[in-house]
Structure 1
């Protein structure tokens, strides 16, 4: 009985919800995705506004600056070249803590880029192959899960993984839009 009482008294602070946290008083956050910059040659910048303790909304903007993907596209190793992406999202905090917590989000990726295909033109007995290059625009609704941890009540490290599926132009745009990231940021 004494052990149970001691466990309840010592364990209560571990599960108690924080109130009046200095982190919760700050309603804005900006983040930069270091994983996308290093691995994919994309610059991802995010802004998030906290509406309440559990809900937030945000916007991520991204553009490609990688020469490797451009060269792969020009050489024919890939038929799509994503260039820009705007992602509005809504998040819900799953944990009680403000210093570190899990969250889920729903998002809509408005993405655009270039599409290339080889076309065969027949002219009687001869055929000519030509490369047709054009742009695409698509919308991909999706969902993600992530984890945030704060340091010194203002610096944030965030891990994010999710995916969405393009709906408007499946012949030209990529089927799946991934949302992967390791973000560093500042809450103010």
Structure 2
């Protein structure tokens, strides 16, 4: 019995020692597979790891979903997000290097198309309604929580859930920004 306890203590100290050694790989690239499958959105991320559990990075999204385009064209939604650029800062909430939770603060520069029905009056003073399409760009900010796990020193998976708000052009842009994803990444 003492040998089993001694082996378990030795094994746990080795795994804790392995967890506490810093990873020499400071850069990571990721592809969001959840957004690609569910909404035909191409989402790529880059992250740079800094000292003291901080990291910085950015995420780029491009929307090419035929369903969202069809909903926009048929009038079910009034805006069609086309692109989004999200710089972020993260702080690791747990101290593990293979698996950990993190909190994120992000900014957002986003844009797309906006459609509205406007009332017009022609030269004969006849009134009519017309659908007009324009583009929008907006800035926003928000926060997110996530979980990251590494299968090896280089390959990992990330789960992220977060929300924010647009500030500047809210009459045309979406009020809320979401950052939800399941990403696979490579750390180098």
TM norm. shorter chain > 0.5: yes
Partner of 1:20: 21
Does residue 160 of structure 1 match 2:151? no
Q: In structure 2, what is the Cα distance between the partners aligned to 1:125 and 1:114?
A: 30
Q: Which runs of 5+ in 2 are unaligned?
A: none
Query: Within 5 A, what are the aligned runs for 1:69-148?
Result: 69-123=68-122, 126-148=126-148
Tell me how far 1:126 sits from its aligned partner. 3.0
Q: In structure 2, what is the Cα distance between the partners aligned to 1:138 and 1:82?
A: 11
Number of matched pairs: 179
What TM-score do the two structures reach when normalised by structure 1?
A: 0.88
Q: In structure 2, what is the Cα distance between the partners aligned to 1:37 and 1:31?
A: 12
Q: In structure 1, what is the Cα distance between the partners aligned to 2:163 and 2:174?
A: 12
3-state DSSP of counterpart to 1:39: helix
Q: In structure 1, what is the Cα distance between the partners aligned to 2:148 and 2:14?
A: 18
Q: In structure 2, what is the Cα distance between the partners aligned to 1:104 and 1:136?
A: 29
Q: Which runs of 5+ in 1 are unaligned?
A: 1-5
Does residue 42 of structure 1 match 2:41? yes
Aligned CA distance change for structure 1 residues 172 and 98 (closer, same or farther; 3 Å):
same
Aligned CA distance change for structure 1 residues 15 and 145 (closer, same or farther; 3 Å):
farther
Tell me how far 1:140 sits from its aligned partner. 1.1
Partner of 2:64: 65
| CA-atom RMSD in angstroms | 2.1
Q: In structure 2, what is the Cα distance between the partners aligned to 1:126 and 1:15?
A: 79
3-state DSSP of counterpart to 1:25: coil
Aligned CA distance change for structure 1 residues 64 and 89 (closer, same or farther; 3 Å):
same
